[in-house]
Amino acid sequence: MRKPNMLIGFALLVFVCFSFGASFSMAADTVKVGIVLPLTGPQAKFGEIEKISFDMALDEINAAGGIQGKTLELIIEDDTGRPEVGRSVVEKLITKDKVVMIGGGYSSSVTYAVAGVCQQNRMPFLVNTGSADKITASGWDYIFRLNPPVSEYASAIESLLGQVIKPKSIAILHENSLFGTKGANSFAKRCKKSGYKVALKQGYEHGGIDFKPVLIRVKQLNPDIIYMVSYIMDASLLMKQSKELKLTPKMFIGGAAGFTLPEFVQNAGVASEKVISATLWHQVLPYPGAMDYYDKFVARFKKPTEYHGAEAYAACYVIADVLDRAPSFTNIDIKKALSETDIMTIFGPVRFVSYGKMKNQNRLPTYVVQWIDGKLELVWPARLATKKLEYPVDWLKTWGY
Alpha-carbon distance 47 to 69, whole Å?
Answer: 29
Indicate if the pLDDT at residue 15 is higher than 70.
no
pLDDT digits (tens, 9 = 90+) for 180-228: 999 999 999 999 999 999 999 999 988 888 999 999 999 999 999 999 9
Query: What are the E-state strand segments in 273-315?
Result: 276-279
> Does the fold of domain 152-279+366-398 match that of domain 29-148+286-362?
yes
**Band of the pLDDT at 5, cuts 50, 70, 90?**
low
Least confidently predicted of 25-29, 43-47, 224-228, 340-344: 25-29
User: What are 67's strand-pairing partners?
Assistant: 70
Alpha-carbon distance 227 to 172, whole Å?
Answer: 5
Alpha-carbon distance 264 to 267, whole Å?
Answer: 5
Query: What are the E-state strand segments in 156-269?
Result: 169-175, 197-204, 225-229, 251-254
Alpha-carbon distance 359 to 54, whole Å?
Answer: 25
Indicate if the pLDDT at residue 79 is higher than 60.
yes
Q: What is the pTM of this model?
A: 0.91
Closest CA to 141 of 352, 330, 348, 322: 352
The architecture that CATH gives domain 152-279+366-398 is 3-Layer(aba) Sandwich (3.40)
Alpha-carbon distance 93 to 75, whole Å?
Answer: 8
- What would the mean pLDDT of 366-384 be, rounded to a whole number? 97
Sheet holding 352-355, edge to edge: 71-78, 30-37, 101-104, 125-127, 143-145, 358-362, 352-355
What pLDDT, on the 0 to 100 scale, is given for residue 207?
A: 81
Indicate if the pLDDT at residue 18 is higher than 70.
no
What pLDDT, on the 0 to 100 scale, is given for residue 16?
A: 41
96-100: long-range pairs with CB below 8 Å, 24+: 97/32, 97/34, 98/32, 99/32, 99/33, 99/34, 99/75, 99/123, 100/31, 100/32, 100/33, 100/124, 100/323, 100/329, 100/331, 100/334
Alpha-carbon distance 38 to 18, whole Å?
Answer: 39
Indicate if the pLDDT at residue 4 is higher than 60.
no
Least confidently predicted of 19-28, 215-224, 244-253, 317-326: 19-28
Indicate if the pLDDT at residue 351 is higher than 50.
yes
Query: What are the E-state strand segments in 120-257?
Result: 125-127, 143-145, 169-175, 197-204, 225-229, 251-254
For 231-245, give one letter per residue: b (16+ CB within 10 A) or e: bbbbbbbbbbbbbee
Beta strands at 358-362 and 352-355: parallel, antiparallel or unpaired:
antiparallel
- Mean pLDDT, the chain, whole residue set: 93
Indicate if the pLDDT at residue 124 is higher than 50.
yes
Domain residue ranges in the chain? 29-148+286-362, 152-279+366-398
pLDDT digits (tens, 9 = 90+) for 36-55: 999 999 999 999 999 999 99
Indicate if the pLDDT at residue 389 is higher than 50.
yes
pLDDT digits (tens, 9 = 90+) for 284-318: 999 999 999 999 999 999 999 999 999 999 999 99
Superfamily of domain 29-148+286-362: Response regulator (3.40.50.2300)
Output the 3-class SS for 42-71: CCHHHHHHHHHHHHHHHHHHHHCCCECCEE
Closest CA to 343 of 335, 351, 334, 353: 351
Sheet holding 276-279, edge to edge: 197-204, 169-175, 225-229, 251-254, 276-279, 367-372, 375-380
What pLDDT, on the 0 to 100 scale, is given for residue 22?
A: 35
Q: What share of the chain in percent tops pLDDT 70?
A: 93
Between 196 and 15, name the one with better pLDDT: 196
Q: How many residues does the chain have?
A: 401
CA 277 to chain centre: 15
